[in-house]
């Protein structure tokens, strides 16, 4: 029978829906300790499996398997077992956890099937070749019988023989506890089995683009309206007004993949804070208490708990997985064929075992919060999502603005108002303090002989100011010499460049004061560090001169270099190079563009070189004392620059013990770069990154801490070495910690080895 084009599109789109008892490239068994299996992205359609006790990279190495699995076309999970369709012959294969394999009755082993669905204790499958373009047929079912806690057997099913169901032609199936349901070729859903009557779906005539079942209920997404419909024990209300392209079901929750941005939408009993944010998915599978998905951007596995308070060790393997099922035929409207070249693997031309097969995935037309679609979906590529921080035209500005909900916008405006009132309230007292400081501080600094000191020379060719005996109240105060590098800026010049030091020009703030972005009349972009009144009152002019003397002599490619200063009207302003890409903290934790692994390793190496320079080459040596990701800035070339050394005095800068503290702090930075997790996060347990990551590194489980929100390289060895380098910096005994020179050398060697993305 020839399949109509509309139904063919339905079959292709339905291939992206993976549920509790349905079929997909990733699936989970259910029971107390679920086992997840997925088809990898090597082009061989090999199977990888993992459970709560390990993160196995292959079925043969998992503690719950006795033999390796053959290449599989599709997977489906039941209670304590999984089933699949073998890629080479379309025959079924079912296996249990403990040395129980080949759970298919002898009479059915040689049959070819196009679809398979595992339930609590039974399996149903649609007859026909899996790789045929006509993916429809009649149904066979068999039982999986548990004879002991560790042993399962199979037999042909009497419970699931139904005359009406046997005469129908199905396109796909789902199974639960005592029932199976299928999408009928002619339209609607039919259910059978001893518990099927409780579902009450007999009158349903709609077609569905996604279908999933748990033990006692099923949900589907209407092809016609996009509405989510549920049957059975439906005490949980699905969301309305949201279109989904895939579904998965746990014991007390359903989750789906949104059509617009491929984000996760869940309903039922689940913890919303555990759902991955800022990532889209192409496939998803659920067990009772755990969900795992395959991310669209990099095909990395991502797992999260549905609603669990206990800490369970569950780390998926660091392997790329297939985003969908390999099928014959082209992709329909609203779909794209996944392009293997996106994985940057020269030898990988297809994710399927045959070149005539393709993986059709649903197009996205929007992006998750903080990103905008910079290109549309085509026949061989999904839309591209670009960080809003890179938005440069009105179209994306509108999209990025719409990402903020009215509630968040209201909160943002409220916060701005609060900060404005705080600034206004403090300005009066601040001005008074500055005025007092101005009255107390000498207008002209003199050397020990009572002569005027020379002004700093300008690296931009600005001439020295003549000392003519007259005093200009607007002239900059003179300070100790800063030979050949620092420019003396006028206060009026910097006020104009920062729009009067307005809040919207603010780049950051600290105990010293505020940092502002400045744009000079000649177009140069600078960063101006302005001391607050408290800093001025509690320090003297000699402190400022000392800092200038030291900063003027510091020049390195991996520190933020001083360009000039201003000391008019009691102000103390330091002018630095402007870093257009912000701080490392903003990119790791603040929602700016995600840094890939090549950039992260480069930043780690360059930051180490910057600190090495401060420790070993600066005269006198400089201890940073506050190294963290917010103190590492990124220049126009994404180079790392160490910033914010604070006020320095000679007696504070030569301590070896203090340098070891810098090393430890840099080790924390390396962990943040590697994991993407904050140094301290109260929502995590343990909240401290060192307490969380260091034990895993020492136990040889460094792979478990690698950031899964970044496209995983094919060669993860450099990332594992980066974890070892971090451990050298974080040793409890300071005497056993590496020096900054050692760390810089190791990171430099790691960069030279290269990172295959």
Question: Is the per-residue pLDDT at 428 higher than 70?
Answer: no
Per the listing, tokens 């059509």 go with 259
Residue 161 has a pLDDT of: 87
Asked which of 524, 546, 577 is the last residue of a domain, the reply is: 577
Q: Are 244 and 228 in contact (CB under 8 A)?
A: yes
Asked whether residue 656 is assigned to any structural domain, the reply reads yes
pLDDT at residue 359 greater than cutoff 80: yes
Residues 189 and 111 in one domain: yes
């292959």: which residue's tokens? 58
Distance CA 42, CA 321 (A): 8
What are the φ and ψ backbone dihedral angles of 408, each rounded to 5 degrees? -70, -35
User: Quick one: 590 exposed, middle or buried, by C-beta within 10 A (0-12, 13-18, 19+)?
Assistant: middle
Confidence class of residue 98 from pLDDT cuts 50, 70 and 90? low
Residue 446 domain flag: yes
Asked if residues 103 and 124 have their Cβ atoms less than 8 Å apart, the reply is no
Tell me: pLDDT of 712 over 70.
yes
SS3 600: helix
* pLDDT reading at 751 higher than 80: yes
d(Cα 353, Cα 567) in Å, to the nearest integer? Answer: 71
Q: Nearest-CA neighbor of 691 among 630, 732, 747?
A: 732
Same-domain pairing of 498 and 517: yes
Tens-digit pLDDT profile for residues 163-222: 888 889 998 899 999 999 988 888 888 899 999 988 888 666 777 878 888 888 888 888
pLDDT at residue 413, rounded to an integer: 40
With respect to residue 115, please indicate whether it lies within any of the assigned structural domains.
Answer: yes
Integer Rg of the chain from CA: 32
How does the average pLDDT of the chain come out, rounded?
78
> Considering 527, 562, 577, which residue would you say is the last residue of a domain?
577
Concerning whether 206 is annotated as a catalytic residue, the answer is no
For residues 280 and 587, what is the distance between their CA atoms, to the nearest angstrom? 18
Go through the chain and tell me how many residues it has. Answer: 757
Q: Pick from 310, 328, 346: which residue ends a domain?
A: 328
Whether the predicted pLDDT of 269 surpasses 90: no
Q: What CATH number is associated with residue 532?
A: 3.30.200.20
pLDDT digits (tens, 9 = 90+) for 641-658: 999 865 444 455 457 888
DSSP labels, 577-599? E--TT-BHHHHHHSSSPPP-HHH
- Give the model's pLDDT for residue 511: 62
The verdict on 280 and 355 lying in the same domain is no
pLDDT at 426 over 60: no
Same domain (yes/no): 343, 433? no
Q: pTM (2 decimals)?
A: 0.63
Confirm whether 416 is domain-assigned: no
My answer on whether 293 and 356 are in the same domain is no
Q: What are phi and psi of 658, to 5 degrees?
A: -65, -35
Candidate list 260, 626, 635, 742, residue with the active-site label: 626
- Are residues 653 and 709 both part of a single domain? yes
Average pLDDT over every residue of 510-514: 72
Domain that holds residue 460: 421-464+475-577
pLDDT, residue 554, reads 87
Number of domains in the chain: 4
Residues 322 and 401 in one domain: no
Give backbone dihedrals phi and psi of 380, rounded to 5 degrees, phi first. Answer: -125, 20
Q: Which three-class secondary structure state does DSSP give residue 417?
A: helix
pLDDT bucket at 45, cuts 50 / 70 / 90 = very high
- Residue 49 confidence (pLDDT): 87
The answer to whether residue 412 sits within a structural domain is no
Q: Which range has the top average pLDDT, 120-129, 144-153, 238-247?
A: 120-129
Task: Assess contact for 183 and 28: CB atoms under 8 A.
Answer: no
Q: Which of 756, 757, 740, 754 is nearest to 669 (CA)?
A: 740
Q: Do residue 152 and residue 257 come from a single domain?
A: yes
List CB contacts of 549: < 8 A, sequence separation 6 or more.
480, 482
CATH number of the domain that residue 142 is part of: 2.130.10.30
Question: Are 644 and 629 members of one domain?
Answer: yes
> How far are the Cα atoms of 28, 73, 566 from residue 79, in angstroms, in the given order?
9, 21, 73
Same domain for 588 and 561, yes or no, is no
Does residue 415 form part of some domain?
no
Q: pLDDT tens digits, residue range 492-510?
A: 899 999 988 888 788 877 6
Are 360 and 324 a contacting pair, CB within 8 Å?
yes
| Statement to judge: residues 68 and 35 lie in one domain | yes
The answer to the question of residue 392 being in a domain is yes
Are residue 624 and residue 572 in the same domain, yes or no? no
Q: 225-257: per-residue pLDDT in tens?
A: 888 888 887 677 888 889 998 899 888 888 999
Residue 631's pLDDT is 93
Position 413 in a domain = no
CATH of the domain at 658: 1.10.510.10
């Amino acid at each position: 029978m020839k399949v109509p084009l509309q139904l063919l599109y339905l079959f292709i789109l339905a291939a992206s829906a993976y549920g509790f008892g349905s079929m997909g490239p990733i699936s989970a068994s259910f029971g107390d300790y679920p086992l997840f299996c997925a088809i990898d992205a090597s082009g061989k359609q090999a199977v990888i499996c993992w459970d709560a006790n390990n993160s196995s990279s292959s079925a043969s190495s998992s503690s719950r398997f006795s033999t390796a699995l053959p290449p599989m076309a599709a997977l489906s999970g039941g209670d304590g077992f999984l089933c699949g369709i073998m890629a080479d012959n379309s025959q079924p294969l079912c296996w249990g956890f403990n040395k129980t394999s080949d759970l298919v009755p002898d009479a059915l082993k040689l049959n070819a099937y196009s679809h398979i669905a595992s339930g609590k204790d039974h399996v149903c499958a649609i007859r026909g070749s899996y790789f045929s373009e006509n993916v429809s047929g009649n149904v066979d079912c068999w039982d999986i019988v548990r004879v002991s806690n560790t042993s399962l057997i199979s037999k042909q099913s009497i419970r699931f023989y139904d005359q009406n169901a046997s005469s129908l032609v199905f396109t796909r199936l789902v199974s639960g506890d005592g029932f199976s349901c299928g999408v009928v070729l002619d339209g609607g859903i039919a259910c059978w089995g001893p518990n099927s009557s409780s579902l009450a779906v007999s009158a349903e005539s709609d077609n569905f683009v996604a279908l999933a079942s748990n033990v006692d209920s099923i949900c589907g997404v209407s092809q016609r309206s996009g509405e989510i419909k549920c049957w059975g024990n439906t005490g949980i209300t699905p969301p309305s007004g949201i279109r989904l392209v895939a579904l998965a079901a746990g014991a007390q929750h359903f989750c789906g993949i949104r059509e617009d941005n491929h984000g996760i939408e869940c309903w039922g009993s689940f913890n919303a804070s555990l759902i991955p944010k800022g990532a889209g998915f192409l496939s998803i599978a659920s067990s009772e208490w755990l969900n795992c998905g395959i991310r669209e951007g990099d095909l990395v596995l991502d797992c999260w708990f549905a609603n669990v308070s206990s800490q369970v060790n569950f780390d998926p393997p660091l392997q790329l997985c297939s985003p969908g099922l390999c099928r014959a035929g082209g992709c329909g409207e609203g779909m794209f064929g996944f392009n293997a070249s996106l994985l940057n693997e020269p030898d990988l031309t297809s994710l399927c075992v045959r070149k005539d097969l393709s993986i059709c995935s649903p197009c996205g037309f929007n992006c998750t919060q903080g990103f905008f679609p910079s290109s549309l979906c085509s026949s061989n590529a999904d839309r591209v999502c670009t960080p809003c921080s890179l938005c440069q035209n009105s179209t994306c500005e509108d999209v990025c603005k719409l990402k903020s909900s009215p509630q968040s916008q209201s909160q943002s405006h409220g916060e701005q108002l609060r900060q404005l009132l705080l600034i206004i309230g403090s300005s009066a007292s601040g001005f008074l303090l500055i005025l007092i400081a101005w009255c107390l501080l000498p207008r002209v600094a003199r050397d020990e002989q009572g002569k005027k000191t020379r002004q700093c020379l300008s690296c931009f060719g600005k001439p020295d100011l003549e000392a003519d005996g007259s005093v200009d109240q607007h002239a900059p105060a003179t300070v100790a010499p800063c030979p050949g590098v620092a420019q003396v800026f006028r206060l009026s010049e910097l006020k104009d460049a920062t729009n009067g030091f307005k809040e919207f020009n603010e780049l950051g703030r600290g105990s010293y004061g505020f940092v502002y972005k400045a744009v000079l009349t000649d177009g140069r972009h600078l960063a101006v560090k302005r001391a607050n009144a408290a800093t001025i009152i509690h320090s003297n002019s000699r402190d400022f001169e000392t800092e200038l003397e030291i900063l003027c002599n510091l020049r390195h490619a991996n520190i933020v270099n001083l360009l000039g200063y201003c000391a008019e009207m009691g102000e103390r302003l330091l002018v630095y190079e402007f870093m257009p890409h912000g701080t490392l903290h903003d990119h790791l934790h603040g929602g700016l563009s995600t840094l890939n692994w090549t950039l992260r390793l480069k930043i780690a190496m360059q930051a180490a070189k910057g600190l090495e320079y401060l420790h070993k080459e600066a005269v006198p040596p400089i201890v940073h004392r506050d190294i963290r990701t917010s103190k590492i800035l990124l220049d126009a070339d994404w180079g790392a620059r160490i910033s914010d050394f604070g006020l320095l005095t000679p007696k504070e800068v030569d301590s070896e013990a203090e340098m070891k503290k810098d090393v430890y702090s840099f080790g924390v930075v390396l962990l943040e770069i590697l994991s993407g997790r904050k140094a301290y996060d109260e929502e995590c347990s343990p909240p401290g990154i060192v307490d969380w990551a260091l034990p895993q590194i020492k136990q040889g489980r460094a792979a478990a801490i690698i950031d899964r929100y970044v496209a995983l390289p094919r060669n993860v060895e450099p990332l594992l070495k980066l974890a070892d380098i971090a451990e050298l910096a974080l040793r409890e005994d300071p005497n056993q910690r590496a020096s900054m020179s050692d760390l810089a050398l190791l990171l430099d060697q790691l960069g030279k080895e290269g990172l295959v993305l």
